[in-house]
């Protein structure tokens, strides 16, 4: 019988386990009531596992799984109790406001966006002002304004033709010293009875009267008449004279692309067997303003000697030794300078045809 009683005693459930089960239940009830008082549980029938979680995260340290599959979190410290209250009065907040993970996300985002905007405004106000890129409407407005401003500029060439023609002369006169030369040639007689004029001396001076070229030239034909009274050429000058072909090439290198001034210059070009553009030719024997200054008829062809005496008060081509081509070229350039501005303005308005 003793053995049977022992077996019966061990077969019964120990009272300790029942007591332990009651203690677990009591602890669970205490924790649940604590969570309800703190606002983490709103109803007894709604466990925290049924509330939708915004972000599914792995279990953290200190969390233990429950039978229904949810994770049980430990109780929060007492310091955070004030955070669950609305105004520090100790009363719990509303259901959605009290539980941080139950509050809707939009309200948080709106508050954060507003705070960011305020901070951004304060930050931008502290920064120095920077010119921003113009918008399309601003670009269109600026384009309209610029077109209005540029519109008179388009019409400016049409309205300022007179001013352009007036200023053109001054611009040309500034370039003339570098591109203007004066020429004078002396001829001897060749051919039957010496009636053909052939080049025997050529002198070229620049704008300031400095000599650029002065050579005696041997004509290709036999000299019949030296014309010493007018040309100043003698037989001894032809001993070491430059042949015509070589001299002609040297002279044309100087004249090409330049404004050439001369008196009755067509005779010089004929002796050189050369044609210079009319637009780059200035003949002091056919300049009406020069004749007016000398109190001579405008259409008359006055001699270089007469114009030099009248306007420059200087005698040239004097004596029986003949003319000096250097002296004549220098006098021609000085005469042209007297009417340069007026005559260049006239040519700018009435350009000669080549």
The neighbour count for residue 102, using CB atoms within 10 Å, is 17
Residue 118 lies in a domain: no
Q: What is the pLDDT of residues 62-89, one digit of tens each?
A: 544 444 444 445 555 544 444 333 444 4
Tell me the mean pLDDT in the region 107-119: 49
Judged by phi (left if over 0) then psi (alpha if -120 to 50, else beta), residue 53 lies in beta
Whether residue 4 is contained in a domain is answered as no
pTM: 0.53
- 265-305 per-position pLDDT tens digit: 999 999 999 999 999 999 999 999 999 999 999 889 999 99
CA distance 162 to 284: 27
What CATH number does residue 253 fall under? 3.30.420.10
Within a domain: 303: yes
Answer yes or no: is 290 within a domain.
yes
Q: For residue 291, tell me if it sits in a domain.
A: yes
Domain assignment of residue 296, yes or no:
yes
The torsion angle over the Cα atoms of residues 318, 322, 323 and 325, rounded to 10 degrees, is -150
Please tell me the total count of domains within the chain. 1
pLDDT score at 100: 46
Q: Is residue 14 part of a domain?
A: no
Q: Note whether residue 284 is domain-resident.
A: yes
Task: Find tokens 């120095």 and name the residue.
Answer: 128
Query: Could you tell me the residue range of the domain that residue 218 belongs to?
Result: 177-349
| Overall average pLDDT of the 159-176 stretch | 52
Residue 91, pLDDT score? 47
């Amino acid at each position: 019988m003793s053995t049977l009683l022992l077996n019966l005693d061990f077969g019964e459930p120990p009272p300790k386990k029942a007591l332990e089960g009651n203690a677990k239940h009591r602890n669970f009830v205490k924790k649940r009531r604590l969570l309800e008082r703190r606002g983490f549980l709103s109803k007894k029938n709604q466990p925290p596992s049924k509330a939708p979680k915004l972000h599914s995260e792995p279990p953290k340290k200190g969390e233990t799984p429950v039978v229904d599959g949810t994770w049980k979190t430990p109780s929060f410290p007492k310091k955070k109790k004030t955070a669950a209250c609305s105004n520090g009065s100790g009363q719990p907040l509303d259901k959605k406001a009290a539980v941080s993970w139950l509050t809707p996300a939009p309200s948080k985002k709106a508050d954060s966006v507003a705070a960011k905007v305020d901070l951004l405004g304060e930050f931008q106000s502290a920064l120095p002002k920077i010119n921003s890129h113009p918008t399309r409407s601003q670009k269109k407005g600026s384009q309209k304004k610029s077109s209005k401003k540029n519109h008179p500029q388009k019409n400016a060439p049409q309205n300022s033709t007179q001013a352009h023609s007036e200023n053109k002369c001054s611009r040309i006169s500034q370039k003339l010293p570098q591109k203007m030369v004066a020429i004078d040639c002396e001829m001897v007689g060749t051919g039957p009875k010496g009636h053909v004029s052939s080049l025997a001396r050529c002198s070229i001076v620049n704008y300031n009267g400095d000599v650029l070229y002065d050579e005696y030239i041997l004509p290709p034909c036999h000299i019949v008449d030296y014309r010493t009274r007018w040309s100043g050429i003698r037989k001894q000058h032809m001993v070491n004279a430059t042949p015509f072909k070589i001299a002609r090439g040297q002279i044309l290198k100087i004249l090409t692309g330049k404004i050439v001034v001369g008196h009755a210059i067509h005779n010089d070009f004929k002796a050189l067997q050369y044609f210079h553009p009319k637009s780059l030719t200035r003949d002091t024997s056919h300049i009406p303003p020069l004749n007016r200054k000398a109190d001579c008829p405008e259409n008359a062809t006055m001699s270089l000697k007469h114009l030099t005496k009248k306007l420059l008060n200087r005698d040239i081509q004097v004596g029986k030794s003949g003319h000096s081509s250097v002296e004549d070229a220098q006098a021609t350039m000085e005469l042209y300078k007297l009417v340069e501005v007026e005559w260049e303005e006239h040519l700018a308005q009435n350009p000669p045809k080549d």
